[in-house]
Structure 1
Amino acid sequence: MIAEDLLGRHEVATAADMERLGARLGAGLTAGDLIVLTGPLGAGKTTLTRGIAEGLGVRGPVQSPTFVIARTHPSLVGGAPLVHADAYRLASAMELDDLDVDVDGSVTIVEWGRGKVDGLRDSWIDVEIERPVGDVADETDAEDLDLDAPRVVTIARVTA
């Protein structure tokens, strides 16, 4: 279970700070925990996941699962593995469930999972990442999306 001081709103100045926040979050997670990450393209969902992976002590590298839908990272310290899934192209929790992800035996992170994890768990951790959008000239330009601009991260517990 995550520490109470991690719930709420966090201002995150850099990608390194995002990873540090993720490491703090990951240090308190155990098998069966489900995290839903929401935010626009380039918000830092995968960067936060890298930090969570570090906090869990799992094997990397952690990369966006966009093209493979889900990746499993085994523990290097005898803890729960990390399942990192991308639900962007999935229509429902049923399709996510069809992936045969071990939600009970893993820490499961689902990017773009809001509205698609209902039924997988009675409760989960919802993480919303906001990034500035007014300064980004073209959302398809990866260089613009990687600007080290401040983010706002809101962490909450959700009960179905």
Structure 2
Amino acid sequence: MTTRPLPTADDTRAFGEALAAELRAGDLVILTGGLGAGKTTLTQGVAAGLGVRGPITSPTFVIARIHPSLGQGPALVHADAYRLGGIAELDDLDLDTSLEDSVTVVEWGHGVADELSDDRLEIVLRADPETEVRTAQIIGHGDRWKAGVSC
């Protein structure tokens, strides 16, 4: 587990772009954090790094969006579990059918999307209430992430 400061939205996007360089098809990233913590901003950086078709906006009302690759890399599946009642409703989205071929990012996925893969990266975004500076706590699960991330 590592913690990284993200003082600005640009820093959050840059972290997402750097993270994308470490991601490959089949990877699951779960983003946790309060409203306005930077989950979608981080995903915008991942999308830029993967080179997928955008725009990347919060999927809250559509639940999931697929962003195809503009090159040879994997597509990005961007989902939001905020309005879902649990793993059964997430299963109804059939995310596991595209999991092997895409990078999947699930906002609000803690406790819901964990069962999609034993190998997953969880990023907890927090803002200091006094300074409003954000941090990202990066937690790797499974063999794929036991060495952590280098970005």
Query: So what's the TM-score if we normalise by structure 1?
Result: 0.83
1:99 correspondence with 2:93: yes
How far apart are 1:133 and its partner, in Å?
3.5
**Alpha-carbon distance between aligned partners in 2 of 1:157 and 1:32, rounded to the nearest angstrom:** 15
How far apart are 1:131 and its partner, in Å?
1.0
Deviation sequence 1:20-49 (CA, Å, 0-9, x none): 000000111111100000000000000000
State the 4+ residue runs in structure 1 displaced beyond 2 angstroms: 132-135
How far apart are 1:159 and its partner, in Å?
3.4
Identical-pair percentage: 52
Find the counterpart in structure 1 of residue 113 from structure 2.
117
Q: Structure 1: give runs of 5+ residues left out of the alignment.
A: 1-6, 136-148
Greater fraction helix: 2
1:130 correspondence with 2:126: yes
Q: Structure 2: give runs of 5+ residues left out of the alignment.
A: 144-151
Query: So what's the TM-score if we normalise by structure 2?
Result: 0.88
Among 20, 31, 35, the alignment partner of 1:37 is 31
Give the aligned residue type for 2:39. K
Correspondence 1:1-160 to 2 at 5 A: 8-101=2-95, 102-133=98-129, 149-159=132-142
Task: Supply the RMSD in Å over aligned alpha carbons.
Answer: 1.6
Find the counterpart in structure 1 of residue 146 from structure 2.
none
